[in-house]
Amino acid sequence: MNSARVIFLGVVVIGPVLAASLSRAQKPTVPSREEQIAAAILPLPVELRSTASVMGYSPNGKLVSLREGSGTMTCLASDPQAQEFHVACYHKVLEPFMARGRALRAQGVKGPQVDTVRFREIKAGTLKLPSGPASLYTLTGGKFDTKAGSATGAQPLFVVYIPYATATTTGLSERPAPGAPWIMYPGTPKAHIMFVPKM
């Protein structure tokens, strides 16, 4: 067998093995179920954490249910493929709206188009909105410390969704104001009161 054929066979055989090895090396590690749950429930008030349902990621990166809770809140673990730590918890009445957003993004719908589709479906009556206020809590940035059970450096954000709320219906400003609540996306199905506490 000549040397050129040996090299060619080496590329054919070793190439895919090396590529698979590199792919595995670059693939982000998915935290354990317990670690994902501990991180996901952090944004919530302490009294709501033990009963929250939690969605997170399987070893292959698929979004799955990690825990079925008896309470009113659903929490999402941080995406292992994301560059930034981000966990969120929201009232279960928001699930149709949130789930539809996840489904659209999975289909390749991006940015503002996600809301364009959801708003159209809400208007058509095929997507349900909550009939009253519904809360959402998030932590973004920083790093989750498994041993301490905390996310050092993460910034909290609290939101209360009130579909179609405006300054007139609530008495709140529609402009961001340091240390004060304000309404984002006023007059739309996604209208919500923003609270940005300082750490």
Which distant-in-sequence residues (6+ apart) come within 8 Å of 194 by Cβ? 157, 158, 159, 176, 181, 182, 183, 184
End-to-end CA distance of the chain: 69
- What pLDDT shows up at residue 44? 97
Mean pLDDT across the chain, nearest whole number?
87
The span from the CA of 104 to the CA of 111, in Å, is 10
On whether residue 8 sits in a domain, the answer given is no
Please count the structural domains in the chain.
1
On whether residue 2 sits in a domain, the answer given is no
- What pLDDT shows up at residue 196? 83
On whether residue 110 sits in a domain, the answer given is yes
On whether residue 40 sits in a domain, the answer given is yes
8-state DSSP, 133: -
On whether residue 138 sits in a domain, the answer given is yes
On whether residue 19 sits in a domain, the answer given is no
Residue 13 pLDDT level (bands cut at 50, 70, 90): very low
The pTM of the full predicted model, rounded to 2 decimals, is: 0.82
Please write the tens of the pLDDT for every residue from 99-140. 999 999 999 999 999 999 999 999 999 999 998 999 999 999
On whether residue 159 sits in a domain, the answer given is yes
Residue 23, token pair as written in the block: 């792919």
On whether residue 3 sits in a domain, the answer given is no
Range of the domain at 163: 29-195
